[in-house]
Amino acid sequence: MTGLCRGGWYTAENSLNDNVMGSNYRAVDEALEIGANCLVMVVGGLAPESKNIDRARQTVFEGLARTLEYARQHGMPIAIEPLHPMYAADRACINTLSQALDICDALGDGIGVAVDVYHVWWDPTLAEQITRAGAHRLLAFHICDWLVPTRDMLSDRGMMGDGVIDIPNIRHMLEQSGYTGLSEVEIFSAEHWWKKSGDEIMKTIVERGAIHC
């Protein structure tokens, strides 16, 4: 089973109010209901009308701590997904595996990371941080490719093999650290792959996975 994506968005409002936290508790319940391996967290960027990224990161930490307290009661692992820095303002102010793992170290058991190659391939400390995570904190692995040029920040991801990411090398890093889970294909592609049939997409994923993953 894959992880459920997503919970998070702790900074969507100006406080960790009942709306924000309630949506995350419900996300834990939904992950439990479908038997997900983990609940993946896209944590949120800057709060409305704010330029204070340090405050945003503190809010995210507090929100994760509160969600984790609830998730632990039900045995649902939480996976922080660091997003590429281009999303720091609007989607996720946690942008490197190092930042995510610092939070994991502070919060303890029941929390780890989701490694999405689209967001972390560029990181010069990637191998070191994957080793640091270890098998118990490597909870999910998302794959696609980074196109050059990229026409849209959100919805122009490539099929594996069409871009510049060395996916087999990153997969090898995870396996060396004990990861035995799935490679979850996650391709946001409004102008290309989303316009093709499901059968064609699945056929291509299988073919590319055998070659490029």
The whole domain housing 32 covers 4-212
Strand partners, 141: 115
Return the pLDDT at 1.
Answer: 76
**Each residue's pLDDT tens digit, 127-153:** 999 999 999 999 999 999 999 999 999
pTM across the whole model = 0.97
Other CB atoms within 10 Å distance of the CB of residue 22: 10
Q: Where are the alpha helices (DSSP H) in the chain?
A: 18-34, 53-74, 97-107, 117-120, 126-133, 167-176, 198-212
Phi, psi of 140 (to 5 degrees): -160, 155
Query: In this model, does residue 44 exceed pLDDT 80?
Result: yes
Helices (H), 75-160: 97-107, 117-120, 126-133
**How many domains does the structure of the chain reveal?**
1
Q: Residue 101 sits in a domain of what CATH number?
A: 3.20.20.150
- Rounded CA separation 171/195 (Å): 28
**pLDDT tens digit sequence for 21-41:** 999 999 999 999 999 999 999
Segments in 75-166 forming alpha helices (H): 97-107, 117-120, 126-133
pLDDT tens for 177-213 read 999 999 999 999 999 999 999 999 999 999 998 888 8
Q: Residues 64-102: pLDDT tens digits?
A: 999 999 999 999 999 999 999 999 999 999 999 999 999
